[in-house]
A and B are shown apart, each in its own frame.
Chain A
């Protein structure tokens, strides 16, 4: 069943490794060894995290992070649940 959803996209050239997105959305974004964002398995944002995702998009000092409207063909992955321990 198709549904409207949001996907995280990052402009890799604009991204300058500020790392604030990973602080605000640790359920979906990790930082690599050099401070740049890695998305965990699925870029589709679960509904319960959409507000946090918007905040992460707003805070990025270089506007590298975007939320894109997509059509998701299945309910969002449960990737956030088990691994959703907030980092310090």
Chain B
């Protein structure tokens, strides 16, 4: 597959400069081409890449309607709190101008007069690259104009907004799992507190400064920037097994490494395993984690031929999420791995809602006891009960993700959990690491 987001200069050269970016891709499209950008995004079928998978065009349309021509805000979500995901920081570090193009297009399309770059405090390389890219663009002397609000119908289509004059600022939320949640992002910009708040109202209604706000993942914006240039047909021109489009994924091999790859939607897990260097063999893997810590497990024999398509995953009760794939080594103990993840998720709670604070902690404690072969009598039964109790009872989806993963683990690794509850483990002591260093393939 020809790279799209990852096309361009060698990665060792670092962030792509503005000159190279413009030479390779041409300028941002002119007024006429972007006038119906929202419609184009809708037909392209581009889904959000932050985890929720919400259609990008639909989100921009909702905000544009509420903004009525002006006053909206674009928040570029580069928080990437999911530890197994490296794609966002890779994209920001290597192709910052794609991300900024997407942000400017979003601002023009929804009628925004401010762009906020929301980059996790731990992603220093990404911050540097974006900061320099913003400075490069400010230094060029070509102000361009793009029509504001691109919805059909009642909008101020007489108003032109110089695209370069939308002020951009960079904020650095703390590096925590929930910092990337959309209401947490807005809350941080409004009040310096990166914890989710009770919704409704959601950011697209009332967000930063009480204005309609688009909170969009950096990868989604980068794809929007390419679709604006090359069209929805171009985006849908590749794909396998009936899927259309491409996406970035982070493949976490059984070793320490994480690799960022761009794949066609519909490629199978086995295809991805073959793309990693060295290739991952199905015999070495017992199960595959799809969707990161918000996702679920499939046994290797079922996963290998499974297509990475949002629709197919949803039918299985899984989700594409932020495009994270984890390969669990055949020697690793899945119960101990689950316990480590559950402990991490409990510690990453924003600690605002009782069921999340106490529920995830109780689950983590019980899972750890089971993993260590020292369970209390009703630990395993309690895990299942608590998974049901905690679901849907927080202000955000963090507890849902955590118990979703637990539920999948209990299904996929039922026999191993049963053995552990009776004091036996058939795996060696190796445990899959919770966080990893990463690179781009």
Contacts and interface: CB of A to CB of B under 8 A. Distances in A.
Nearest to B197: A13
Interface residues of B, number: 14
Interface size class of A (residues with CB under 8 A): 10 to 19
Contact of B355 (A11, A14, A34): A34
A69 to B, nearest CB: 15
Contact of A33 (B198, B362, B394, B395): B362
Interface in B374-395: 386, 389, 393-395
Interface in B349-374: 352-355, 358-359, 362
A34 B353 contact: no
Contacts of B352: 12-13
A15 B354 contact: yes
Interface in A9-55: 11-17, 32-36, 38
Contacts of B362: 33-34
A15 B356 CA distance: 12
A56 B348 CA distance: 32
B355 A13 contact: no
A11 to B, nearest CB: 5
B353 A33 contact: no
B393 A13 contact: no
A17 B393 CA distance: 12
Nearest to B389: A32
A35 B389 contact: no
Given A32-B393, A36-B353, A38-B393, 9 more contacts: A11-B395, A12-B353, A13-B395, A14-B198, A32-B389, A33-B359, A33-B386, A34-B359, A36-B354
Contacts of A35: 354
B198 A34 contact: no
Contacts, number: 41
Interface of B: 197-198, 352-355, 358-359, 362, 386, 389, 393-395
Given A12-B394, A13-B198, A33 B389 contact: yes
Interface of A: 11-17, 32-36, 38
Contacts of A17: 354
Given A32-B389, A33-B386, A36-B393, A13 B359 contact: no
A17 B386 CA distance: 17
Contacts of A32: 355, 359, 389, 393
A47 B353 CA distance: 30
A12 B390 CA distance: 12
Contacts of A14: 198
Contacts of B354: 15-17, 34-36
B399 to A, nearest CB: 10
B198 A11 contact: yes
Q: Name, among A14, A32, A35, A38, the residue most crowded by chain B CB atoms within 10 Å (CB to CB).
A: A32
Contacts of B198: 11-14
Nearest to A17: B354
Contacts of B197: 13
A13 B199 CA distance: 10
A16 B395 CA distance: 13
10 contacts: A12-B352, A12-B394, A12-B395, A13-B198, A32-B359, A32-B393, A34-B355, A35-B354, A36-B358, A36-B393
A42 to B, nearest CB: 14
A38 B389 contact: yes
Contacts of B393: 12, 32, 36, 38
Which 10 residue pairs are nearest across A and B when measured between Cβ atoms? A34-B358, A36-B354, A12-B395, A12-B353, A13-B352, A32-B389, A13-B395, A17-B354, A36-B355, A11-B198
Contacts of B394: 12
